[in-house]
Structure 1
């Protein structure tokens, strides 16, 4: 048996072998290497279509890996400092849901911040676990949710000693980190698992100058979006686990919802991206940090904008900051973040990650170029010059504390009726309302609809945020619990 190293890419290597063995394919996919869909082959390229293969013995099977996928996952676990790694082709959504669904059953409590991604609350709808929410800290100037206070975590754990696990966002979309080591220590003292939504922290594992990674902090499971900052294809992710959880059971839970027809394009991208990050990640991330720091400094010189970073660190709800994140506060120039987002794309040909009611986020990586960084800075300067106005009347916060009156699963599957959004004040929400990205629910099933929440939703709609979650595609009506 060959001794594998981080230089190996078992899935990629197996695909390369299959590509040259002149098999006659009487299996799926039906495009047969692109011959059956020439337009798609012309669009994606012949090589891509030929590598779009189905599970077969030489390529292993993601549902029950015994050879090359097993080897690739073992190398990923080693690279990330985990005991096991599971490749996910349904996005990090599936990894987050697998963490919760393998830790909790119907009726079990799970502690989490309310500014979680919708995937976490979706898992509660499916499995019937009960959320115990911790309100994150908030920054009054920026209006953004922060991390969780250790004191709030400890108090919540003491008040809910029967909770099975605690979920931590680390980092948040804005780059904010909680005191993960201390949260792990306290949770483990009370026999609770620590699950980390590390979707935006893949790079933490490969540069010592960044905040601590989930596995290094001692967490039991972590969902990492390899495609976000690790270089793999969109929708590919990795679920990392320690031996404190039963990896075989976790795999069974993953298989409840993950496709049985895993894309080998996604799997091989995870394999190759892991190798690249392990061997070259430190250098690539150093370049990313340099780009982000440079852009921050130049943007702050423009006046009006505030590109925030480590100065927010307070040792508590902002325990650390991810300096690769270029998060920019825009409200002082009289524009909502989503308005700057739209101007950048429509007038300057610049696509950033998202804009909300007060901030924008630009994702920086080593794949960027100096010229593009300068284009972004120049465009922001022009937007300020041409569009700056009085900030009076702008909404001043992103986070509205929820009022939970019913479990998410019960509310989602209850008898519901559709009412006009503007007339829903005081009713119990039966579905989700959120801006995407980032995909953090403004309202989730089982939460009381309040005047403050409605003001936020209507303001976000008016400013042009992309709203999702409701059955009504126009976001004019909302499903509420009857009775």
Structure 2
């Protein structure tokens, strides 16, 4: 579908939820409903902190404001405008984050026992969905860039092989892009999936801007994918926890709504929904220009950081036509090991000594997330700080781990392992056992271990190394990650 034509059908200057809330504000309705703070009067400290404008529209569903579970008026209009702006057959406003969007997408496509083809470097929300529905993952283990230590996209031949070997799989899921900005050949994968009678699902948590940026990788809807989870709050400018679920013309809208309503709140936040509404309007009217500027700023930052020496801010030169089919040039991903520091160490120094908060640091890289709110002067400050960190802290990097991704050995389905009888063992005594919980660094939230995977010495070494370097580890029952739950 031609994106410009798609956006010309409806008036993208409208923001129906925002407009309804403004009308409601002017009516001065007496509240005998929830929330109990009663437009902020009952909680003056909260009102002072957030402001009357904010708490005054933190309201409950009512006829003039529609209902997220079964929208018939202003929320439905907002969803129609979002679908139009993103070139989708339908769009759902999601208030449980893109986690909720991803899980609804997987639960729509899969039921217990179904196989789904996916890369292993997916966000934990995908594997959580498999725990919930009982589907079985068929992993396409991504290639790893040996220098950067990061996982790449899915190769076409790997996807074709997985489809051939698992003809009864119901769907193929693709990251578009990965956290680091790497894209698979989405159009080719969509065609392969459809030719085999499978759905193609896209986790576009980090790809909102693909729908509005010239020169950026193809968006899922433009590539013909059946469903896409889009984190509007990441690069799209809406409030944290607000997201979109987009579907194509061959997915049943009513069934998707039923799936969403299995887990999504019945008390949808109008702060989150109005932020989606206003942000969609902003992107539809100004997104193409804005994201062109973001890409330019990122390219400038790459050049400046690489000129410092020691760091490697990588970009489109990684593209190889297959496992790195395309690259998101707005992503400022920087390899740090050549200055002798792990990414998480640079992350900590930037925050603690330079008051610069980047998105994440891991074993070998950092990611500075650039989007619609960034300005050149902040990028200059980041470049200067990195130059100074190199001068002050550069050291011998021998002995540093580099590989971010370790191929898993799957011994049981995520659901089977998660609910099976289990026991807790000291970390080093779990080698060879089957894990029954998640272990990951967050962000990015890609599991090092997932339920049903065999624990190896390499994985244990990685966990201990990541902990020692200061990575924020999440997932296990034991918050110290001194013990792991394994199948009994």
Is TM more than 0.5 here? yes
The Cα offsets for residues 366-424 of structure 1, whole Å up to 9 and x where unpaired, read as 31122211110010001100111111110020000000000100000000000011211
Report if the CA contact (8 A) 2:214-2:292 is conserved. Answer: no
> Structure 1 CA distance, aligned partners of 2:421 and 2:140?
28
> Structure 1 CA distance, aligned partners of 2:22 and 2:296?
36
Please name the residue that 2:52 is paired with.
46
1:223 Cα deviation from its structure 2 partner: 0.2
Tell me which of 220, 223, 227 is aligned to 2:229.
223
Report if the CA contact (8 A) 2:235-2:372 is conserved. Answer: no
> Structure 1 CA distance, aligned partners of 2:454 and 2:77?
48
Tell me which of 296, 305, 327 is aligned to 2:302.
296
> Structure 2 CA distance, aligned partners of 1:399 and 1:355?
15
> Structure 1 CA distance, aligned partners of 2:309 and 2:249?
50
Please name the residue that 1:91 is paired with.
97
How does 1:353-364 map onto structure 2 within 5 Å?
Answer: 353-364=359-370
Please name the residue that 2:276 is paired with.
270
Tell me which of 380, 393, 396 is aligned to 2:399.
393
1:283 Cα deviation from its structure 2 partner: 1.1
1:138 Cα deviation from its structure 2 partner: 1.1
Q: Does structure 1 residue 453 correspond to structure 2 residue 459?
A: yes
> Structure 1 CA distance, aligned partners of 2:383 and 2:108?
45
Q: Does structure 1 residue 65 correspond to structure 2 residue 71?
A: yes
> Structure 2 CA distance, aligned partners of 1:476 and 1:201?
36
Tell me which of 204, 226, 248 is aligned to 2:254.
248
> Structure 2 CA distance, aligned partners of 1:230 and 1:371?
21
Tell me which of 303, 317, 322 is aligned to 2:323.
317
Tell me which of 373, 381, 392 is aligned to 2:379.
373
Please name the residue that 1:102 is paired with.
108
> Structure 1 CA distance, aligned partners of 2:230 and 2:371?
16
Please name the residue that 1:465 is paired with.
471
Tell me which of 426, 429, 442 is aligned to 2:448.
442
Q: SS of 2:390's equivalent?
A: helix
What TM-score, normalized by structure 1, do the two folds share? 0.99
What TM-score, normalized by structure 2, do the two folds share? 0.98
Q: SS of 2:302's equivalent?
A: helix
Moved over 6 A (4+): none
The Cα offsets for residues 275-321 of structure 1, whole Å up to 9 and x where unpaired, read as 10010001110110111011100000011000000000000000000
How does 1:419-434 map onto structure 2 within 5 Å?
Answer: 419-434=425-440
> Structure 2 CA distance, aligned partners of 1:365 and 1:396?
28
Tell me which of 167, 172, 175 is aligned to 1:169.
175
Cα pair distance change 1:23/1:4, threshold 3 Å: farther
> Structure 1 CA distance, aligned partners of 2:58 and 2:28?
15
Q: Which runs of 5+ in 1 are unaligned?
A: none
1:180 Cα deviation from its structure 2 partner: 0.2
Please name the residue that 2:36 is paired with.
30
Q: Which runs of 5+ in 2 are unaligned?
A: 1-8
> Structure 2 CA distance, aligned partners of 1:420 and 1:181?
46
> Structure 1 CA distance, aligned partners of 2:86 and 2:144?
31
Please name the residue that 2:127 is paired with.
121
Count of matched residue pairs: 480
Q: Does structure 1 residue 12 correspond to structure 2 residue 21?
A: no
Report if the CA contact (8 A) 2:186-2:223 is conserved. Answer: yes
Q: SS of 2:341's equivalent?
A: coil
1:208 Cα deviation from its structure 2 partner: 2.1
Report if the CA contact (8 A) 2:20-2:64 is conserved. Answer: yes
> Structure 1 CA distance, aligned partners of 2:50 and 2:285?
29
> Structure 2 CA distance, aligned partners of 1:370 and 1:319?
29
How does 1:198-217 map onto structure 2 within 5 Å?
Answer: 198-217=204-223
> Structure 2 CA distance, aligned partners of 1:178 and 1:371?
33
